[in-house]
Amino acid sequence: PHKVLMFPFEQIPFTDQKQEFNRPPTRTVRSMSQSSTDSFASVHSDTSDDESSPRDKLQKSTKGPSDFCIKNISQADFGRKEIEMAGREEEDLRLKRAGGEKPLAGAKVVGCTHITAQTAVLIETLVALGAQCRWAACNIFSTQNAVAAALVKAVFAWRGESEDEFWWCIDHCVGTETWQPNMILDDGGDLTDWIYKKYPELFKNLKGVVEESITGVYRLYQLSKAGRLSVPAMNVNDSVTKQKFDNLYFCKESVLEGLKRTTDIMFGGKQVVVCGYGEVGKGCCAALKALGAIVYVTEVDPICALQACMDGFRVIKLSEIVRHIDMVITCTGNKNVVMREHLDKMKNGCIVCNMGHSSSEIDLAGLRSSDLKWVHVRPRVDHVIWPDGKRIVLLAEGRLLNLSCSTVPSFVLSITAATQAMALIELYNAPEGRYNKDVYLLPKKMDEYVASLHLPIFDAHLTELSDDQAKYMGISKHGPFKPNYYRQVNFSLSRRQTLTHILTFNVSNPFCFLL
């Protein structure tokens, strides 16, 4: 059995000296406080005696040279302990193969996600179900080096990659003459986009794409609309189990930790703008409000805006409040949300960060202009200084705050991982003709099944409908209890499909592997 893990809180090392530059910070050897020294072995440690790029070194395991590229193979034992430790929270949530069969036998899955202990469980589960896997990171700051070392085989990732190294890792994960993928598991769409641009011939053998982020889903729908989507794709992001748990509760708990670890800020009385009131924005607003922050919301969608108003938040334009705020958090999944014109008007010490997948929400190009000076003060904390001495605090260079700067709750991520695994199994085993070259949503029955698997952890007991009640409602007493068009998401469902061809999807189905 494979268990989903959680890992210990890290201590963030502080620098003794500041490094100034007008471009992204380079890695330096940094001294640490005593508390940081005590947690030197943390999976998030940025400190290393060897600051050279892993891609410039011969990669060896105990079995000799191998096909992977990671930071430090000697951390493998620690990474394995991290993976095992998190299983204490989710020891009953195991992905197993049913009836001695391996539903992913012959599957070659290439993945590009955050490489964390939780992802390690998913990868090892896919392998146990028969798949071969190669993996790269979707974020340059979220990789846990010790976990990558524990996975070792065919992993190309390390924490603190440069932009060039990021694409190098994706290319080496895909570009090999001895191994060609037939399934893609993506988070953000970078891997899918790279294959489209550089290795389009691979789509001849691909059975499908599974995408879990709003950024990647947008890309898939754009390809579909243009008639350029070459294979069926599963939109995991818009499944209810992803939206209502991962996006909401995951962000609700992790946003505060990321901010505390990087800034030591007290939230009471602070004026905060949250850009976007989707599920991520809702989680962030609820967490900030609970600690006494004064929260404002920006929105383009009148439905989401009305929700924010009725939840007690004032909906405004960023330009109306930007001179007075202490912090701005972007959660839209869009681009150009906080521009240089906004940054110029912010007061001294304003914190700027992003909870969306991509760094495109903040105008980083404007911040890297020659008239501004960067001072690197902590791991993933930069001060950007204006000529008059004003400075803003930029976190994680505008990349995803929680996974770049903190640990994350394992339990809620297992819900998404279960959904991803089931989507891969369905696409891989679907007979020819079941899915067209389009983007599909998960059926409500699958959402409900994933949710039911996690209820025993809370000792929750569902009420069962009587036959008369089920007949009155016009549904099966065993579900689904909502129609497939019920999504509770915040944008149009035009051109979106549901998996209407999945079998009755019950535990007797030979392709149900969540037991």
In a domain, 348, yes or no: yes
Domain count along the chain: 2
Q: Are residues 198 and 254 in the same domain?
A: no
Q: Are residues 412 and 400 in the same domain?
A: no
In a domain, 8, yes or no: no
The pLDDT, as a whole number, for residue 495 is 37
Please identify, among 344, 379, 405, the residue that sits at the C-terminal boundary of a domain: 405
Assign 3-class secondary structure to 237-305: CCCHHHHHHHHHHHHHHHHHHHHHHHHCCCCCCCEEEEECCCHHHHHHHHHHHHCCCEEEEECCCHHHH
DSSP structure class, residue 352: E
Q: Are residues 197 and 253 in the same domain?
A: no
- Say if residue 279 carries a ligand binding annotation: yes
- CB-based contact 195:174 (threshold 8 Å): yes
Q: Are residues 301 and 325 in the same domain?
A: yes
- Say if residue 334 carries a ligand binding annotation: no
CA atoms within a 13 Å half-sphere pointing along the CA-CB vector of 147: 33
| Most confident region among 124-133, 142-151, 379-388 by mean pLDDT | 379-388
In a domain, 481, yes or no: no
- Say if residue 292 carries a ligand binding annotation: no
Q: Which residue would you say has higher pLDDT here, 411 or 365? A: 365
Give the mean model confidence (pLDDT) for residues 245-265: 91
Q: Are residues 378 and 313 in the same domain?
A: yes
Give the mean model confidence (pLDDT) for residues 249-264: 92
Q: Are residues 115 and 249 in the same domain?
A: no
Q: Are residues 251 and 297 in the same domain?
A: yes
Give the mean model confidence (pLDDT) for residues 98-112: 84
DSSP structure class, residue 440: E
- Say if residue 46 carries a ligand binding annotation: no
| Confidence label for 56 from pLDDT (cuts 50, 70 and 90) | low
* 186-211: pLDDT as tens digits: 999 999 999 999 999 999 999 999 99
Residue type, 126: L
In a domain, 438, yes or no: yes
Q: Is the pLDDT of residue 499 over 70?
A: no
In a domain, 341, yes or no: yes
CATH assignment at residue 190: 3.40.50.1480
Pick the range with the lowest mean pLDDT from 23-27, 256-260, 343-347: 23-27
- Say if residue 280 carries a ligand binding annotation: yes
- In sequence order, what DSSP letters do the residues of 113-178 get, joined into one string? E--SHHHHHHHHHHHHTT-EEEEEESSTTT--HHHHHHH-TTEE--TT--HHHHHHHHHHHH--TT
| Confidence label for 216 from pLDDT (cuts 50, 70 and 90) | very high
- Say if residue 438 carries a ligand binding annotation: no
pTM for the full predicted model:
0.77
| Confidence label for 178 from pLDDT (cuts 50, 70 and 90) | confident
| Confidence label for 323 from pLDDT (cuts 50, 70 and 90) | very high
Give the mean model confidence (pLDDT) for residues 441-462: 87
Residues 6+ apart with CB under 8 A from 310: none
Give the mean model confidence (pLDDT) for residues 410-414: 83
Q: Are residues 211 and 248 in the same domain?
A: no
Please identify, among 380, 405, 430, the residue that sits at the C-terminal boundary of a domain: 405
Q: Is the pLDDT of residue 19 over 60?
A: no
Q: Are residues 353 and 252 in the same domain?
A: yes
The pLDDT, as a whole number, for residue 504 is 37
CATH assignment at residue 378: 3.40.50.720
The pLDDT, as a whole number, for residue 51 is 66
- Say if residue 212 carries a ligand binding annotation: yes
Q: Is the pLDDT of residue 88 over 50?
A: yes
| Most confident region among 254-268, 394-408, 494-508 by mean pLDDT | 254-268
Q: Are residues 319 and 401 in the same domain?
A: yes
In a domain, 502, yes or no: no
* 454-469: pLDDT as tens digits: 888 889 999 999 999 9
Q: Is the pLDDT of residue 24 over 60?
A: no
| Confidence label for 15 from pLDDT (cuts 50, 70 and 90) | very low
- Say if residue 246 carries a ligand binding annotation: yes
- Say if residue 165 carries a ligand binding annotation: no
In a domain, 210, yes or no: yes
Residue type, 276: G
| Confidence label for 243 from pLDDT (cuts 50, 70 and 90) | confident
Q: How far apart are CA 57 and CA 48, in angstroms?
A: 15
- Say if residue 79 carries a ligand binding annotation: no
* 396-409: pLDDT as tens digits: 999 999 888 888 78
**∠ CA(414), CA(353), CA(276), 5° rounding?**
75
Give the mean model confidence (pLDDT) for residues 269-288: 96
Sheet holding 183-186, edge to edge: 155-156, 132-137, 108-113, 183-186, 208-211, 233-235, 439-441, 497-498
Residue type, 495: R
Q: Are residues 253 and 374 in the same domain?
A: yes
The mean of the pLDDT values for the chain is 82
Q: Are residues 80 and 151 in the same domain?
A: yes
Give the mean model confidence (pLDDT) for residues 381-394: 97
Q: How far apart are CA 278 and CA 355, in angstroms?
A: 11
Q: Is the pLDDT of residue 412 over 70?
A: yes
- Say if residue 187 carries a ligand binding annotation: yes
Q: Is the pLDDT of residue 302 over 90?
A: yes
Q: Is the pLDDT of residue 182 over 70?
A: yes
- Say if residue 282 carries a ligand binding annotation: yes
Pick the range with the lowest mean pLDDT from 123-132, 426-435, 492-501: 492-501
| Confidence label for 39 from pLDDT (cuts 50, 70 and 90) | very low
In a domain, 59, yes or no: yes
Residues spanned by the domain of 336: 243-405
Give the mean model confidence (pLDDT) for residues 402-423: 86
- Say if residue 281 carries a ligand binding annotation: yes
Q: Which residue would you say has higher pLDDT here, 2 or 474? A: 474
Helices 117-128 and 410-429: crossing angle, nearest 10°?
Answer: 30
